[in-house]
Amino acid sequence: MNTIFTDFINNYGMEILYTIVMAVVGYVGIVLKNLYQKYVNDATKKAVVKTCVQAVEQIYTDLHGQDKFNKVVESASEMLNEKGITITDIELKMLIEAAVGEFNKVFEGKSVTTENVSG
């Protein structure tokens, strides 16, 4: 009985080990790809929203309040959809508010720091 097991390991051991190693490497690759994609998508979302806020502020000077907000939502959603990036309504609202806050700080001549944002 021990001879059969030893023969099996001798004949197929490297193939089994190779399969296990490839499965682990494949899994790690998928995890790293997902983490990278999340980081890139988040950075892209922030950049698109910031660009849209700046563009709406410059182009639509006759709009105010909710109308400007709606224009930013429309523009940012369209740009992100073209890139194949999905975004939730609350995430979009938070990114817009952050971009507007940063835009207003820069417009007022203040630099944006963590102290200005948190307190």
Average pLDDT over residues 66-74: 86
Rounded to an integer, what distance in angstroms lies between the CA atom of residue 82 and that of residue 106?
29
Please, which pLDDT band fits residue 108 given cuts at 50, 70 and 90?
A: low
Alpha carbon 72 to chain centroid, angstroms? 19
Q: What is the pTM of this model?
A: 0.61
Higher pLDDT, 82 or 114: 82
Q: What is the pLDDT of residue 20?
A: 93
Which residue's structure tokens are 């006759």?
62
